[in-house]
Each structure stands twice: as C-alpha cells, then as structure tokens.
Structure 1
C-alpha cells in the first residue's frame, strides 16, 4: 500500500464519529486476541487448578510452561509428594470437612455451612431406613461436596470410624440415596481379670471393663448366679474381650467372647458362632426372643424387602423391617432382654426406640405414638416400651419393627433368633473346640488377680 493511500485512509478515519472509531478499535482487538489464543494443549495447561494448600509446590508451576499438565499427571506428581487426596479438577466439587463437636446438631451444622435446610431434610429422608444420622457424636466427621457453580449440595459422607462410613449422594433435584460401608477388620482378644471386693460392678469397672460390658455380663449371668448373694470377697473373674481394629486403630467396638467367675459359685459363659452364649455344658444362657413385638399377631401390612423399588423413581428404596397394621395406642413390647440405646423423634421415622440385645442383636420400633422407656434403661422380654401410632412420614397408624444382626437388617419374621435351647447336636463338637480355644487364651494370658477396689 502506497503513502498516498495511507494518507487517504487516515483522513477517512479522522472524519468518522468517535463512537464508530471506538467500535472498530474494539473489534480489531477481539480479532487479535482470537488469533493469539493458545492451542488446546496450552489452554489445558492454563486451566489446571492448584489449591492454596499446594501452592508451595513451585516445581508444578514451572513445569506447566514445558509440558501439557493433565489431571493424571498432576495426581502422579502429588502422589510423589505424599499429598494425594481430593484434587480439584474439571467437574469436581467444593469440599468441606467438618468434625462434630460437643453440642453440635445436624441442623446447626447445615446452617453454619450455608447448605440449606431443604438439603438436610432430603438427606434425612434417605436416611430413614438407616437412621445413621441420629447417633452423631463428637469426633464423627461429615464431608460435604458442593457444586462449585450453583453451591448446591451433591453428596455428604458420614465417617463414624474406620469400620463404618455412609455416603449420601443426590440422584435428582429432590432425592438422595445412601451407600453404607462396613469393614470387619481384625478382632484381637484381650483377657481382663481381677479379684472381687465389694460389688462385681465396681471390681469389673476397675479392671478395665466399661459400663455396657459390665451390664451385658450381669444380664447374661443373672439367671445362673445371684450377684448380690452368691459373689463373695476374694472371688476372681476372667473376661475375654475382643476389640475391633482397622489398620491398627481401634474403632471403639468390642464384644465379650467368654466369662468365667471363680470361687464359691463358679460360672462360665462362652460366645458361639451362632451369636448365642452358652455355659460350658452347652446350655443356653439367653432367654428366648419373642417373634412378634405384641401380645396379638397383627396383620402384616408391608413385609421386609431390601430390594423394594420406589414407585416413582424406580430406584432401590429398602424396606428394612416388617409393618404391622396396629391402631394407635396398641401396646408395643420388646422382643427380648436388653438395654435401650436410642429414644428419638425423627421427622420421617417418627418416635422410635432402639434396644440392644447383647453383642449381636438389635431391635427397632418406629412410628410410636408414645414412648414408655428412657435411654439406658434395662428391659426384659415382653416389657411395654411404647404405644403404636402414626408419627413421622406415614399414611396411617402402624408399627414398623426391625431386627438387626451384627449391624445388618434381616427379616424379623424369618431370621434365626435366640430360642433358649442347648447347642444343636450336629454343632456340639464345634462348640467344644471353641470352648477349648477360649480356655487356652485365658490360661496363656497370665492375668494377675489384683484386688480391684
């Protein structure tokens, strides 16, 4: 282009209104940016997100200018730094971890983290058949996954201990579903023993047993020994306690595997593979369970069905118990001896009671109109624990009854329950081997029977 043409263009440019000149300049700038925009690989490099807590890894930043730094490569690099974990990337969530403290409530936590009460109730609805969120304790952890754009809660994890976790994940705008993870781990044994001086309770607590364990031993042995009259000063006891360990860390779960009381009235109890306790002769130490939680066999309106599907979503919505068509005010009875471990009022399960029967069995009674027991109370088979009703999310009055074995819901109408019978003849040999194994554990422990005052 010659000088004369350039001057002509310049004069034409000067005659244009300011608004037109500004517009043309902006379009030219956009064209330059488009022409100079990085290729797909370079765009990927620029898009890598490095969280603040990893900002000290300057080597990562330097390497971005040399090689496309994909998500997989980032993960490999962080593994080398010993920091592999939640790595933000395209489509990942904003993650918040919250450790529950004394006095915390789920509602308060959701408000504090600005998660919304609607999302909380959606999760509680999913939790109705599990009720894991009704036993939040200090030290439990919650992990929240939020959509980075909308801020909507997409998932919540509950970490109780290394052996038990629950994840609640959104599957549509209004509903969550849960996945429960149970890890069995190892159960190393420990022998706890001592000399009885004063009460058995005080001596056992001083030896290292907790309140729940002492209550369980007392309940198991109460039909065969009078702890007030037959126990004398100087008598001794051995208890084999197994404690759950996951990767070398205790979860807090324990079970009593054997009990021996020596002295004027020697007694023993051994946990067998069927979950029941027997004396050394193989006679049951547990009172029989009742199959039904009432004096009358009411009509079953909905059966146990872990694969039941929701009529609208078509997704699995387990029914973990049996529903009985009871009118409001019908007496509800505990089906076995035990200790009340929960007395709650849930927005969907309604008023309910949970009872622990030894180390293996747990029962739940839901939608009660009235609760007649308190947390920590010892109950006996056939005791009234409440009146049936229609509390929570129901279409009419009924009792929802659940039986859990080793933490898993089973069909309460079909499951094997303690029947106060002796060890079956075809399992007698296996029982005798088990008793011999437990006795060897005690003999090899060299427990010193120090006075537990």
Structure 2
C-alpha cells in the first residue's frame, strides 16, 4: 500500500504530457491482457476438402517413369480408335460419366479418382459451400469436353431435386433443379434401313439414350458390327408429362431388338442397371490388378503430379507396379487387342478394348504375346513385364481408360457381373415379362 501511495505521489509531480502518455500506455496494456481470440470464430471462407493419401505422399523415383516425363494420354499411338457408331454418338452428345458415392468418398477423392481438375472443384465450392456434403448412395454425373475439362456436373440430392453446375467462359453457374410432372411409359419403334443409330434417332431416342443402350448391351450385341438392314426394335421409355406435353426425353426402361431370328431383350431394374429377362447381369467384370501376384505400387495414379524442382505438372495417368523383368502380365478383362507395338516413351505396349466403355493399357513390356485382333479373356497372359521405353527401373505401367479418359484403376468402381438379388427376382421377372410382351406386340402388329 505504501508503494502505491509513493507511486501516485510521484505521478502527480509529472508534467501533464507525461501523465497523458502514461495513461494511454496503461490502457493499451490492460486491453492486450484482456483480449483473447475466440477459438470458434466463423469465417465465410472457402472450405478445403481432404485429398487422398497418394496426393500428399512424396513420389518415389525408383521403378517408374522419370518424373519429368509425362506420357500423353491423348497420344494417337496409345488411343483406341472409334468405330462409326462411336463417332455418330460423340458427334452429337458428350459422354456422360456416372459415379455412385461409396463409403468414405469425398468430393476431392472423387475428383482425384477420375482425374478431374481440382480447380473446377473449388469453383463449385465457391458458388455452393454445401457442395462437398455428399452422402452414401448419391448419384453424381458429369460431362467432359475435348480438353478434359468439366462442362457440367450434376449431383442428385433425391429423385425430385438435383444440383447442376454448368461451366462456361465466365466461370461456373449453379442451379437447383426440381423434377415435377406425371410419368407415363411410351413405346418407340423402328426398322433399320441404313444404321441403327440413324433409325433410333428417327424413332425419337436421344443420343444419350442410344449411348446407354449401346453400353448396356456391349457384351451381348455389337450394334456397330452386328446390326443389319431389316432389323427391328422397340423401346419402352418412361417420360414426364405436364399438361399432356412431354417435358423430358425420359428414361429407357426396356428394349427388344430383333436381328433375324434372334431376340435381344433388356430391362432396367430399380438399381438403374439393365438385366436380361431372367435377371442375369449384362456386364463383364474387370480386375484391378493385371498380375497373378500383387506387387508393390511404386507410383500411384496422379493426374496432378508436380515435378519437385520445376513445379510443372507431369501427370501420371496409370499405376506402376514394381514387377521384375519377365513377370506374366494378365488381361484385366475380356476384350479385343487393338494395339501391340513399340513406342519411344511407352516401350513395348498393348492396348485392349473391353466393350465400348473401357479399355486398358500395359506399358514398358519385355515381350508381347498377343497381336491386334486377338480376342482375350480375363486373366489370359498377354505379355511379360520389362523395362523398355523411358523408365527408371523394371516395372509394369497399367492404365484403365473409361470413355477415352484415364481413371484410377485402384479406386474407381468397376463393373461386376452380379444378377438381380434373389429377394427381388420374382418381382423383377414379372415386370420384365410384361414389358417383353408389350414390346413384342408392337413389333408384330
């Protein structure tokens, strides 16, 4: 107390300017001591999403391509040529890619799996901060332009509502769309006189609907090679009507195609997939690993890989396995060999086409055991791994291509040949039989 009294007496003898300075300094010190930042301060800033581990890990340099060398996914020497049917489809409609959200998926992980530009993901989050709140089982589809950039992306919140993002020169626009109206089943039919594609368009099917049917039947019937003049077809489409006017192209529910004395029938189940009348799957399965034994992954799929020194983007569009020279390389699925040759960077390589949706590439091979035109089965030995082309060590570079774009073979959902679940088969067969009879009456009338 005595010290405080002496300090006040000394302060009273100070000049007025010194007293004001001392008072101001005391107030500042007191305010600094009392202030503490609140740990839950809200910011209206963009939220970042976690990326998968492969993007955060350093890129190993052994048993892989040199990091400064990026194989061009669009190199004509490595691409699968399109036939006339594919050219007709792609000339009028962009490919629609679809993903169903699985357990543990994030928006960032999905973009990474399919090699989509992360810059465009952040554009989506800028216009809708809730875009990253995806749920198990949600459907997401998108379209990609010739440069590999998103042109549109749709997130289906429910059967009734969907979020649509459209990319243009001015950025991205966001709109929540609502589905309304009454749905009715409409039958479209036609006879092939020039090509199935042209007659299907004349019958009222859209390019995307034709694409869906061609993809669904790719293992059962090749519309490009097996469709002939005189073939007949009828299609059941579930269309939306408002005031008796169709306001959408609708969803294809069933198709019956008569090629001579052969009938090809498919019916869409509640899971969105097509099956034959007995509920059997139309798909052929693909395997993730092109070897009998699982080898260490020396370099993962990373379309955004950067050179550690130059900082330039050097995409790695496949998965590298550290296989010794001479390791048997197996076909990832049933298909046709379309290329088997040598490339300055890829070395000895093989390209296999699996139906119309998928193809696979096998690079840096020691020896090729197949030739173009060969039909191969899943698990068939097609080559021996090696160290040819531009490579830093013996390894197998494996790529999975979906509609012409590389995707992560270790992550993306692969087609599986599962039938309709047993508990749902009776109901499915009853509805499929009814649809088959309805379409047969149209063709035979």
Report the TM-score, using the length of structure 1 for normalisation: 0.43
Which structure: larger Rg? 1
Higher relative contact order (CA 8 A, sep 6+): 2
